[in-house]
Amino acid sequence: MKYRDLIKEMTLEEKASLMSGKDFWTTQNIDRLGISSMFLADGPHGIRKQAIASDKLGLNAGIPATCFPTAATVANSWNVELGEKIGEYLGQEAVAQKVNVLLGPGVNMKRNPLCGRNFEYFSEDPYLAGKMAAGYIRGVQSHGISACVKHFAVNNQEERRMAIDTIVDERTLREIYLTAFEIAVQEGKTKTVMTSYNKLNGTYTNENMHLMQEILRKEWDFNGVVVTDWGGSNDRIAGLLAGNELEMPTTAGETDREIIQAIQTGKIKEEVLDECVDRLLELIFTTEEAYKKIHVDFDVDRHHRVAQKAAEESIVLLKNDGNILPLKFGKKVAVIGDFAKDARYQGAGSSIVNPTILDHTLNCFEESGIVSIGFEAGFERYGKKNAEKVKSACLLAEKADVVLLYIGLDEVTEAEGLDRQNMKIPENQIDLLDAVFSVNPNIVAILSCGSAVEMPWIGKVRGLVHGYLGGQAGARSILRVLSGDVNPSGKLAETFPLQYEDTPSLLHFSGKEVTVEYRESIFIGYRYYDTANVDVLFPFGFGLSYTTFEYSDIQIAKDGVTFKLTNSGRVAGMEIPQLYVRCKSDAIFRPNMELKGFVKIFINAGQTKTVTIPFDDKTFRYFNVITNQWEIEEAEYEIIIGASSADIRLTGILAVEGTGAPIPYNKIKLPSYYSGKVNNVDLEEFEYLLGDKVPISTWDRTQPLGYNDTIAQCQYAKGRIARLSYHTIVFAHWFLRKIGKRDTANLIMMSIYHMPFRGIARMTGGVVNMPMLDGILMIANGHFFKGLNHVIKERKKMRKYRKSIKTVEIGSRQRYE
């Protein structure tokens, strides 16, 4: 241990105190030993450090910071160097705001298009997500502070995220859901990892020895700090044994006492605590070094320009019939859509950034050179139909050569803590599109949202530009693409299915009660659509340009592939060649092909460049459940170079030597997986793949409610007060949505409805402790007076204890002074 001597000077109480927060955002300090508090701040795409009340959850506005495009947006750039540059600027701002740990990036897979937090994650592909995350992490940590990759792991739904049990087979876990974390740890060298709320195959991730010790610590050799998601600690001792150093937020000393008692009774050895303290001290001391250097406030304008550059590279041109784009000089343009007036530029939840500057479309036209003849909102932002607005929009559209129609999803549709109800654009926006099309068919749609949507209306637009959530400079960036000042170079980091019913996880998303089963296994995103021959709207890796590119002269060697890339068009542009690999053997079930490399290259018109994409340790591997390790199957592999997963330009064959591992599966027992048609796998086949029985997925309504049951389950509680509370919450949610307070309604669902009872203690900063929670559960289970008396008694005991502790602390300070 690096800090053995310092740890020897600590009392058991002091060591235990470091294992949980001091308040909502800072860690505990020990002044007498020179140990300072750390500040942890949300920040996947911008610093969210609230200006007041660090002891509160964080619903107040943050200190102004640059709002960069969200991860889902930047992933479309396929530019690792750009991700690293964004990370550098995020790190600089974090230092300026005295933030030690920046809570991001998020690398959870986009298993299903409806996950409410998809806007905050990179991709459906673990290789792309991992490479982008590693770039972010290197950039952030170049300033001496820590990034924090999250949410570890298999957190792919928001509904019931604090209680759901994810059932997934080991190979799928390794190949799909852990690979991005592996790259973030081993290549990004992240100093901090945040565990997810959910269970993994029956055990909370924060306590899961297989995940936390066998994989993270031993296999990946991670020596950094593990922090819980806020309120994500279940059993503090089990978490400590698994190697979780830091529980956030504070529990006002309650779990510290659990740790002390566990050591005093021999339940755990003090050496376990010492090792956790040592790793935490390393994080504290190394990150605070950043503040000993001379720093000035960051250059707001320069950071805004970087945010603009990031947005420009991430915009995806999806349709351009008749080369309607870029807009020809002198064309009269009608601007229609509420999102043109008030840009949709980020998601909702813990990642909300208070931007330093915010570009809006209507304020940026003059510099763009585009001639606007006027603006009409056209629709109500939150879905209400308004015939007058549609009529006004059509009157304007009739006078224009081209209509720029700004549509998308609103801020409360894509939000942390909630999953989307469908993949549709709101009906009132489609009604507007239909009406405008009837008077002017020259429509260019500008789409603003952080995830995939259905587009049955796509035949009515000639151009389609997807800006995703482009951050504070996104609106100006889109105009630069429309005008031709920027040649679009983004490509989709996720597949857009024709309809939601085509998704492989349709029947098993989201888990509504106890479990969610990942029956589709490794076949998510393009891995499924391509293997099962399901048509899609836009394939993975797709994106148009204002120029064209030709691929030629492929050369394959043992260590990589080389080819020539020519810009055969008339304007300079950037192209993203993608390396896919297909195993020619059918002994082990696999996707038709998998992404194993990519590069982004700028090429002038008429220029040819030689491109090399190297192979790495992940190019040919698969996870073998018999040997319990990564293996390589001896076979011929097709080396594929594509402009997207569906636009294959070059191919070749390479014979690869294998590791000689046994074939892990009986093909006869896994027909769905060997065909790739996994949208309706039966229970018996899934259990064979899993190697275990699938747990019961429904609540046991006969049992009393416990710590890990949610407030939603009060609907069948024995206590009338609990059932009344449930119906009150449901009514409040309905009423708030009815009167237009959808953000508040969402907050009720996220922070109350789906909250486990233990969250009442874990998220209230010590206002309610676990003994008081026992009383609350008695009330919920039908013992009102007994429970109420218990709550009152335990409340008095807690206040008396804290008063005695405060007296002791004052005495201790006086002695040291």
| Cβ count near 785 (within 10 Å) | 9
If you average pLDDT over residues 742-761, what whole number do you get? 88
Tokens in use for 194? 């945040």
d(CA 466, CA 463): 10
657 pLDDT tier (thresholds 50, 70, 90) = very high
Q: Domain check: are 281 and 308 in the same one?
A: no
Q: Domain check: are 434 and 345 in the same one?
A: yes
If you average pLDDT over residues 95-123, what whole number do you get? 96
If you average pLDDT over residues 206-222, what whole number do you get? 98
If you average pLDDT over residues 118-145, what whole number do you get? 97
d(CA 136, CA 251): 31
Q: Domain containing 537 — which CATH number?
A: 2.60.40.10
Is 252 a member of any domain?
no
- Residue 174: which region, alpha, beta or left (left: phi > 0; alpha: psi -120 to 50)? alpha
Percent of the chain with pLDDT over 70: 97
Q: Domain check: are 455 and 570 in the same one?
A: no
H or E element: which one contains 193?
strand 192-195
What is the DSSP code (8-state) at residue 137? H
Q: Domain check: are 331 and 474 in the same one?
A: yes
Q: Domain check: are 481 and 575 in the same one?
A: no
Would the pLDDT of 350 be above 60?
A: yes
192 pLDDT tier (thresholds 50, 70, 90) = very high
What pLDDT score was predicted for residue 811? 60
What pLDDT score was predicted for residue 764? 84
What pLDDT score was predicted for residue 44? 87
- Helix axis angle for 80-96 and 126-141, nearest 10°, is 40
Cβ 772 vs Cβ 795: under 8 Å? yes
- Higher pLDDT pick, 813 / 143: 143
Is 217 a member of any domain?
yes
Q: Domain check: are 542 and 480 in the same one?
A: no
Q: How many CA atoms lie within 13 A of 400 on its CB side?
A: 30
- Residue 811 sits in which domain range? 711-816
Strand-strand pairing, 316-320 and 332-336: unpaired
810 pLDDT tier (thresholds 50, 70, 90) = low
Q: Domain check: are 317 and 449 in the same one?
A: yes
If you average pLDDT over residues 217-242, what whole number do you get? 97
Q: Domain check: are 643 and 564 in the same one?
A: yes
Is 702 a member of any domain?
no
Would the pLDDT of 637 be above 90?
A: yes
Which of 229, 338, 530, 709 is labelled catalytic?
229
Would the pLDDT of 320 be above 60?
A: yes
d(CA 508, CA 516): 6
Q: What is the CA radius of gyration of the chain?
A: 27
Would the pLDDT of 816 be above 60?
A: no
Catalytic annotation present for 5: no
Percent of the chain with pLDDT over 90: 88
Q: Domain containing 241 — which CATH number?
A: 3.20.20.300
Is 618 a member of any domain?
yes
What pLDDT score was predicted for residue 809? 60
Would the pLDDT of 60 be above 90?
A: no
Q: Domain check: are 458 and 321 in the same one?
A: yes
Would the pLDDT of 815 be above 70?
A: no
Is 242 a member of any domain?
yes
What is the residue whose two structure tokens read 């503040």?
291
Q: How many CA atoms lie within 13 A of 63 on its CB side?
A: 17
If you average pLDDT over residues 414-428, what whole number do you get? 94
Closest CA to 220 of 189, 195, 194: 189
Q: Domain check: are 89 and 225 in the same one?
A: yes
Least confident of 220-224, 252-256, 681-685: 252-256
Is 696 a member of any domain?
no
- Higher pLDDT pick, 293 / 614: 614
Q: Domain check: are 590 and 678 in the same one?
A: yes
What angle (nearest 5°) sits at the alpha carbon of residue 380, between those of residues 379 and 382? 130
What pLDDT score was predicted for residue 742? 84
Cβ 47 vs Cβ 102: under 8 Å? yes
First to last CA, the chain: 30
813 pLDDT tier (thresholds 50, 70, 90) = low
What pLDDT score was predicted for residue 273? 98
Q: What share of the chain is helix, strand, coil (3-state, %, to 5)?
A: 40, 20, 45
If you average pLDDT over residues 279-307, what whole number do you get? 91
Q: Domain check: are 804 and 655 in the same one?
A: no
What pLDDT score was predicted for residue 812? 57
Beta bridge partners of 204: 199
Strand-strand pairing, 635-642 and 648-656: antiparallel
d(CA 710, CA 545): 49
If you average pLDDT over residues 107-119, what whole number do you get? 97
Cβ 408 vs Cβ 452: under 8 Å? no
Number of domains in the chain: 4
